[in-house]
Amino acid sequence: MEHVGNHTLRKTLGYWFYKVTMDIAMLQGFLLHLHPSVILRYFGITEEETNNVLKSFSVFQAT
């Protein structure tokens, strides 16, 4: 792949890691970013998108 560099792979891995796990703290450690807001901006995760996830989150799940 000629047009794929290390940065592209790093960004793709980080994006999908966040989408699957929603673990910003762990991702922050992996990528050595100083603040979570930098990571969200880096991946284009908007506050609206984050709020939508929180709206559907429940500690109590029907079984």
Inside any domain, residue 55: no
Inside any domain, residue 60: no
| Residue 41: strand, helix, or coil | helix
| Domain count along the chain | 1
Which two tokens mark 9? 């792979």
| Domain enclosing residue 28, as ranges | 8-50
Cα–Cα distance, 39 to 52 (Å, whole number): 18
Give long-range contacts, CB 8 A cutoff, 24+ apart: 17-25. 18/43, 18/45, 22/53
Inside any domain, residue 2: no
Inside any domain, residue 14: yes
Inside any domain, residue 57: no
Inside any domain, residue 56: no
Q: pTM of this prediction? A: 0.59
Inside any domain, residue 62: no
Q: In this predicted model, which residue has the larger pLDDT, 49 or 10?
A: 10
Q: What is the pLDDT of residues 28-57, one digit of tens each?
A: 888 887 788 888 787 777 777 777 777 877
Inside any domain, residue 20: yes
